[in-house]
């Protein structure tokens, strides 16, 4: 039977934090074999979502959209709280303004129990986000390109989830969408573009690269270095295998590949290396994995839960410059000429429990209101050299609508950020492969992005891109009934917000 048509999603393999999936999966597939459809009642694990006011309401009196002190920004389950900070247009510690279009992000341990966040800003040249045309502002010597406004900012958050410091850390790049943390304490910021911008003399500066930003409380602005050997293409996200130092990369394109970068020196990406694309051995001439005939695939061709053996094909020219050499091919075309697999819009990626999870945000069978699908979640196992389709959203989009960024919770669940139409949710996938809605964006229904957990596991940080705001969410993670559990210290005040009476 075809799993893609059922009203549930499945998940195979293992999750993060050493959680074994064997027993849950055996029970799960036994129920599938009996033809039983499984889902949480109402699609919730921690209980229904209710409007909540942030704990730091006093800090939200003056924003680019007005006074937010009495406006619930999120819906969350009972027992969960949040703070909201670093909103577009607010003044940062370095005197510049918070740029807009908050996107990918990662959390790192800081001194005295603080958390350091490095955050992307998906800004195109000339983009006006609430009047802030400068984007990630920096002096000329610290910009990669003088007329590009994307980049990263760095935030320092204390144990009470209060912002204590923020500053620009990478400037002069374009559409910094996602990226990923490294085991050596840095953030790889990815340009989601294959474009050029002019310098002040009219010469072209090429974009479509990765940039490394160290995570620290006093790094200031880095000197941007394009990591050209990691490929020039429309980058989305990366995930690093700490054992090997290999970097796995996704590409946001309708005919994208999934890549592996092997550095010449582990942990020294600027020293160069070799780029490869994933190939499924069963399909030596290549395969479209979308399971969608409208996207060049075949419905049900790649079943959920089946492992495929893979190998890697070399990308001979990782830095194509067709603007100068018309014979230069895009890296995905080079890979696919050697049989590399095709994914429909590769987006988020994350490392956990020895595997790499990554997203094909519009893969899957045709949605009821779109020729494209509602999303897929994949697992690549570097130890076994296998690829498995873990999650495929149903056509209805009821349970999952175009996942984008992904992270792995300390308790094993996958946490997905939606970037579809209509209402936008943070969606979890539990150990039985069942979905639940954890948070809803109330302020503007724009995409969630940058989900990541604090080093101690108590706080989920996530961005909302429309207004441009970062949230710190905490509560009874280990207690699905919404009671008890370790939530860590609270934020300012003790405001449970509206709709908290259950």
- Dump pLDDT digits (tens) for 191-200: 999 999 999 9
Q: pLDDT value at position 420?
A: 85
The pLDDT confidence band at residue 397, using thresholds 50, 70 and 90, is confident
- Cα dihedral 451, 454, 459, 465, rounded to 10, equals -30
Q: pLDDT value at position 480?
A: 66
The pLDDT confidence band at residue 490, using thresholds 50, 70 and 90, is low
- Dump pLDDT digits (tens) for 101-125: 999 999 999 999 999 999 999 999 9
- Dump pLDDT digits (tens) for 285-302: 999 999 999 999 999 999
How far is the C-alpha of 431 from the C-alpha of 480, rounded, in Å? 13
Q: pLDDT value at position 333?
A: 98
pTM, two decimal places: 0.91
- Dump pLDDT digits (tens) for 31-85: 333 333 334 445 788 999 999 999 999 999 999 999 999 999 999 999 999 999 9
The pLDDT confidence band at residue 9, using thresholds 50, 70 and 90, is very low
The pLDDT confidence band at residue 489, using thresholds 50, 70 and 90, is low
3-state secondary structure 394-458: CCCCCCCCCEEEEEECCCCCEEEEECCCCCCEEEEECCCCCEEEEEEECCCCCCEEEEEECCCCC
């Amino acid at each position: 039977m075809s799993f893609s048509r059922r009203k549930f999603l499945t998940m195979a393999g293992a999750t993060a934090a050493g959680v074994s999936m064997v027993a849950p999966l055996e029970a799960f597939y036994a129920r599938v074999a009996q033809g039983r459809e499984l889902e949480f009642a109402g699609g919730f694990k921690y209980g229904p979502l209710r409007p909540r006011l942030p704990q730091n309401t006093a800090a939200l009196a003056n924003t680019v959209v007005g006074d937010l002190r009495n406006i619930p920004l999120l819906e969350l389950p009972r027992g969960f709280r949040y703070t909201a900070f670093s909103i577009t247009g607010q003044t940062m510690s370095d005197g510049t303004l918070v740029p807009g279009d908050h996107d990918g992000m990662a959390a790192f341990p800081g001194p005295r129990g603080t958390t350091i966040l490095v955050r992307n800003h998906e800004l195109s040249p000339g983009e006006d986000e609430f009047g802030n045309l400068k984007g990630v502002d920096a002096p000329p010597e610290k910009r990669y390109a003088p007329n590009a406004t994307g980049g990263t900012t760095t935030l320092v958050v204390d144990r009470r989830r209060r912002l204590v410091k923020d500053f620009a850390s990478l400037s002069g790049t374009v559409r910094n969408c996602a990226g990923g943390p490294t085991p050596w304490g840095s953030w790889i910021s990815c340009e989601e573009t294959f474009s050029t911008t002019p310098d002040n003399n009219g010469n072209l500066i090429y974009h479509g690269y990765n940039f490394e930003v160290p995570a620290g409380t006093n790094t200031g602005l880095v000197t941007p270095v394009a990591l050209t050997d990691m490929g020039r293409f429309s980058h989305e996200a990366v995930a690093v295998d700490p054992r090997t130092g290999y970097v796995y990369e996704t590409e946001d394109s309708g005919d994208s590949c999934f890549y592996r970068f092997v550095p010449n020196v582990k942990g020294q990406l600027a020293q160069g290396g070799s780029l490869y694309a994933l190939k499924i051995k069963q399909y030596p001439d290549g395969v479209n994995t979308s399971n969608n005939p409208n996207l060049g695939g075949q419905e049900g061709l790649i079943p959920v839960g089946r492992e495929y053996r893979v190998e890697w094909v070399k990308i001979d020219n990782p830095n194509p410059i067709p603007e100068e050499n018309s014979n230069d091919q895009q890296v995905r075309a080079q890979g696919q000429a050697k049989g590399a697999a095709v994914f429909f819009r590769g987006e988020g990626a994350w490392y956990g429990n020895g595997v790499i999870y990554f997203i094909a945000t519009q893969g899957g069978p045709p949605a009821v209101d779109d020729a494209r699908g509602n999303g897929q979640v994949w697992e690549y196992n570097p130890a076994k050299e296998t690829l498995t389709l873990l999650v495929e959203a149903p056509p209805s989009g009821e349970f999952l609508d175009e996942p984008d960024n992904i992270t792995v919770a300390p308790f094993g669940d996958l946490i997905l950020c939606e970037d579809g139409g209509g209402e936008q949710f943070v969606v979890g996938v539990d150990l039985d492969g069942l979905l639940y809605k954890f948070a809803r964006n109330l302020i503007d229904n724009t995409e969630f992005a940058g989900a990541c957990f604090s080093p101690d596991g108590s706080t989920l940080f996530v961005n909302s891109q429309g207004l441009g705001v970062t949230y710190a969410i905490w509560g009874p993670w280990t207690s699905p009934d919404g009671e008890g559990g370790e939530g860590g210290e609270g934020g300012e005040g003790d405001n449970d917000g509206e709709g908290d009476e259950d």
